[in-house]
Amino acid sequence: MTEKTEIKSMTLEELERFFEERGEKRFRAGQTYQWIHEKLADSFDDMTNLSRELRQKLKEDCSLLTLYIADKKISKIDGTRKYLFRLPDGHVIESVLMKYRHGNSVCISSQVGCRMGCRFCASTLDGLERNLRPSEMLDQVYRIQKDLGERISHVVVMGAGEPLDNYDNLVRFIRLLSHERGLSISQRNVTVSTCGIVPGIEKLSEEGLSVTLALSLHAPSDEVRKTLMPVANRYALKDVLRACDTYFQKTGRRLTFEYSLVKGVNDNLTEAKALTNLLKGKGAHVNLIPVNPIRERDYVQSDDRDIRAFVRYLEEHGINGTVRREMGRDIGGACGQLRKSFMEEREGWKHTH
Ligand code: SAH
């Protein structure tokens, strides 16, 4: 059996070629594209302006990838929603919807698991399972928009996985997400967060995209950074920051720096000072995230007093910093925890039966 063509990951141009090769009219490809990416159709049967014959043919030759909502939790405090999605091959991934004054924002996963090994992160504990396809990244946004019944205006690629470790699928995802015949989400409202893969950042500078890049910095020196992030052994901080400068020069988009505060590791004023020196004059924004402790590691959140002192130091020295509010406090733990408890339950089930 030949494998069906997975059309949700195809660009409009590819779909047009695909239709023409099969003797179908080009504009039918446009209609199909719109059904998939703008009207968010779940099945070929929904595509009512296509003939029955064409729909039948599409069903035979193509697959329309859709994620299944395996679990959902809604916060009573701020409306944050956590979704657990099942992929066609049985893997599960997590996505989060956050409601802000400026719009609805979805945080998506880019891989099943992750191989970057950041010490404080729950998503990397079991390593990388596989990359997500462009359609699997898109459908996290599509399912959530449909389920919520409201427009999604912002997307952050900050869930499980390292997006630049799944480079081609990421770029394709961004183009499909922002396409005028799809959801048409402005690239300026898309943020890609990376642990700092230098060749990936350099390549992304050349794509002609205008997404915001967020760098997970977490320490102002290689020495401390290496204790938190294995990737720091591969790329020196000065090279990472040079790549970030290139990104700004080429795209005109200012970067965001993420800094998770870990008690006794990176949260004292010596670090605040070093961070200030590192970022001075870049007009950068620093997002400070009190680390979310995970059971498998003994990292502890910095004290409130130290967090306030850290931000104050940055502000007094001309660096913009905000402490990221924890959203959906009542629906459970750190990023990746919904998936983790699901997997543990499944494992437990396996062991007891
Ligand atoms: N791989 C990408 C994106 C995923 S993680 C990256 O490294 O940027 C998104 C952000 O959450 C990163 O800054 C990551 O370092 C941070 N993060 C992960 N686990 C965390 C935890 N337990 N507490 C605080 N921040 C965490």
> What is d(CA 114, CA 281) in angstroms, rounded to the nearest whole number?
33
The pLDDT value given to residue 341: 74
Is the pLDDT score of 296 beyond 60? yes
Average pLDDT across the chain, whole number: 94
Query: Burial level of 259, CB count in 10 A (0-12/13-18/19+)?
Result: buried
- Ligand 1 environment, Cβ below 6 A: 116, 118, 120-121, 158, 162, 193-195, 216, 258, 260, 289, 291-292, 294, 334-335
Over residues 150-162, the mean pLDDT reads 97
The pLDDT value given to residue 349: 46
CB 297 within 8 A of CB 123: no
Residue showing tokens 């306030």: 308
Q: Give the atom of ligand 1 at the shortest distance from the alpha carbon of 118.
A: 15
Is the pLDDT score of 149 beyond 90? yes
Ligand 1 centroid–CA 211 distance in Å is 18
Which residues, 6+ apart, have CB-to-CB distance to 106 below 8 Å? 95, 96, 97, 98, 140, 141, 144, 145, 152, 154, 155, 156
Ligand 1 centroid–CA 180 distance in Å is 31
- Per the confidence metrics, is the pTM higher than 0.85? yes
The pLDDT value given to residue 221: 97
> What is d(CA 284, CA 251) in angstroms, rounded to the nearest whole number?
14
Catalytic residues: 94, 335
Tens-digit pLDDT profile for residues 90-146: 999 999 999 999 999 999 999 999 999 999 999 999 999 999 999 999 999 999 999
Is the pLDDT score of 45 beyond 70? yes
Q: Give the atom of ligand 1 at the shortest distance from the alpha carbon of 218.
A: 15
Over residues 137-162, the mean pLDDT reads 98
The pLDDT value given to residue 69: 98
Name which residue sits closest to atom 9 of ligand 1, judged by CA.
Answer: 158
Q: Give the atom of ligand 1 at the shortest distance from the alpha carbon of 160.
A: 4
Name the CA dihedral angle for 288, 294, 300, 304, rounded to a multiple of 10 degrees: 40
Is the pLDDT score of 334 beyond 70? no
